[in-house]
Amino acid sequence: MTRHDWTKEEILAIYNKPLMSLLYEAATVHRQHHDPNKVQVSTLLSIKTGGCPEDCGYCPQAARYHTDIEGNDLMSVSQVKAQALRAKASGSSRVCMGAAWRNVKDGEEFDNVLEMVRTINKLDMEVCCTLGMVTENQAKRLAEAGLYAYNHNLDSSEEYYKEVISTRGYEDRLETIDNVRKTNVTVCSGGIIGMGESIDDRAGMLVALATLNPQPESVPINALVPVEGTPLEEQQKVSIWEMIRMVATTRIVMPETQVRLSAGRTDMSKEGQAMCFFAGANSIFAGDKLLTTPNPDVNEDMELFKTLGLEPQKPFEKKSQPKTVEAEQSLYKPLGEKPKWSRPGHKIERNEEAKTKAKLAK
């Protein structure tokens, strides 16, 4: 039975168990709710790269930092379709489209994204989007187009969030998830470890996710990939043992969720990834890039699957395929909304330093 009343103390007690006991419990829970030999494979596609107005300390796409990321305008529907077909041929069941936006704005670009959703859903693939904050009406328009999942990560605990991002509030993340929950679209929400947070903060993030009712259908666990030019460029990478503990704890407190082994896999050995799968991870991103950071080659992943006896999960195994409503039949029209998403306005010293450094580099 899925619980929604987890406390931080309970989650810390699980996280800090002797590793063998933790692994055994997580693997047992995993087998009760999932086929342990199936892993959902997604391809992450950056449909609009760079130029983001936010100040997320981990992100090379923030316009205020000086990184080597090449920005690009929104891709065309035909370009996205070609990439989706390539992903499908390589074994992906889902395409996740990411745009470096603070929030969705009604207009031509969002209309194009809706057309991308319709196009990919008609290829019999699950479609996920991560586009920033969305209103209830925008979420309903995405659902009508055939969106399967919406990703909106909490990133960290509410307390530590303020040490990483100053341009938006934690409550905006929760409000967006709530708006998505008013539709039939599934929720994908997780976070990043290795940003300098404490184990308490990791537990705090899991409390925020596990106490949602319903819990997110997908929870990505990312290991920070420090990128030169970002405020977190000097951050020490997390160990594989920390990733294994985080995956196992997530599996135990969110038994029905697909736990996604996300950023940072290029630094993990095959044996380390295998232990994460044993601990309950049953979803990965395939392809050579996760938006802008490196990722294992899909052929490497398929080789590892073969070694471990894993097989890619077919699309719509967990939830039936949504129907696509064409634009001309849509019940939900653009409202031209201008929601007042929060701007906390506090200063984060390392973010300000990276911003100053970027100005000097120009």
Q: Which residues contact 91 (CB under 8 A, 6 or more apart)?
A: 41, 286, 298, 302, 312
Strands 289-290 and 293-294, how do they pair?
Answer: antiparallel
Q: Which residues pair with 284 in a beta bridge?
A: 41, 261
User: Rounded to whole angstroms, how far apart are CA atoms 10 and 244?
Assistant: 18
Q: Please choose, from the candidates 250, 286, 243, 313, the residue with its C-alpha nearest in 3D space to the C-alpha of residue 37.
A: 313
Cβ atoms 287, 87 nearer than 8 A? yes
User: Rounded to whole angstroms, how far apart are CA atoms 103 and 110?
Assistant: 11
Ramachandran angles phi, psi of 267, nearest 5°: -95, 0
Q: Please choose, from the candidates 248, 250, 241, 286, the residue with its C-alpha nearest in 3D space to the C-alpha of residue 266.
A: 286
Tokens of 85: 């077909």
Burial of 232 (0-12, 13-18, 19+ CB in 10 A): buried
List residues with catalytic annotation.
Answer: 52, 56, 59, 96, 128, 188, 260
